[in-house]
Structure 1
Amino acid sequence: MIDFKKGDGLVPVVVQDVQTLEVLMLGYMNEEAWAKTLQDKKVTFFSRSKNRLWTKGEESGNFLLVKSYHIDCDKDTLLIKVTPAGPTCHTGSRSCFDTAYNQNFILALEGIIDQRYTFPTADSYVNKLHEKGLNKVAQKVGEEAVETVIAALAETEFDFINETSDLFFHLLVLLREKGVTLEQIAQNLASRHR
């Protein structure tokens, strides 16, 4: 239960991209905005400047689609994880914060690959790999792993970074081919850390 009394009826809301974990914006909600957010599954704030409810994207179509929410330990702040349907900031930027793009791009790339699987196009390299099947995708990961090792031992840092990038990319395609997510891999690694 959220404690709306502490902040004179408003609680701060941190909005985070569910895929990349990037913080997209901060807003405020009252109880009515919270109820509308839960009902519509689109983030709705209470606009302090307009003195009314405001659903992010109501004019631009760049809605923040709710995937999960978390209440802090004091029950007076919300974290909402979303899938953004376009840029979050009114300036057209992906985030309202001027942060270097996107420290979690590997997570974003997982989403891009998933999009290619869900909405295939003829000119997509991901779709061409997928059409060749699991054996070909797995073979590409093996080839890229060997090239990464060679670059680590005998080539420049630039070459090593490029080969490692190729390896990561093809591994992400293999994960999607097998129906495994980075979240599952992260959870497995975290469980091994204990």
Structure 2
Amino acid sequence: MQISDSVVLAGTVNGKIAFAEMIKSIPEAATVPQPLFIDFGGIDVATASYLRESVFALKSYLRTKSSSYYPVVANANANVWDELSVIANAKNDVIVTCELSDDDATTNVELVGKLDPKQRMTFELVLKFDEVDANSLMEEFGESEKTKSTTAWNNRLASLASRGIIREFTKGRSKYYRPLLMERVHGN
């Protein structure tokens, strides 16, 4: 989705208006979890207050609804990226960014914000194995991580999915997780 026709996006009120417009333009419910690209191509400046009330509000809204869509900021320039970082750090949150081509290919995938060491390690395992569940992580890494049950792994995976940086799928009663975007993600 294109964020705006303006090259400067500023202010809390404008961010709230953009949030409402984004909600209206989200396609009907997706059948499988997938990224929802918010395209900042052509945007010169987006203030932290604008991003907080639009992009981060959208991410929170979609995760609260357990939506199949996971917002990804696409084509943000360095100025916008810096403002995203300000909000991510202030909110102790993270968001996925990338470059998106006209044919929907993603490159330069990065996380904006910080993960604690356990979340970072779990996130890296999801990227490494492409598809994981709590049981497989417990079997493979439980001893080295000194975890005695799948609960810790369930909690870590669910937390990453609720933060919108990995996708959650269901097979019967089981949940499994996959990277949001398939290209290797770089931390900030």
Q: Same fold (TM over 0.5)?
A: no
Larger radius of gyration: 1
After TM superposition, the score normalised by the length of structure 1 is: 0.28
Q: TM-score, normalised by structure 2?
A: 0.29
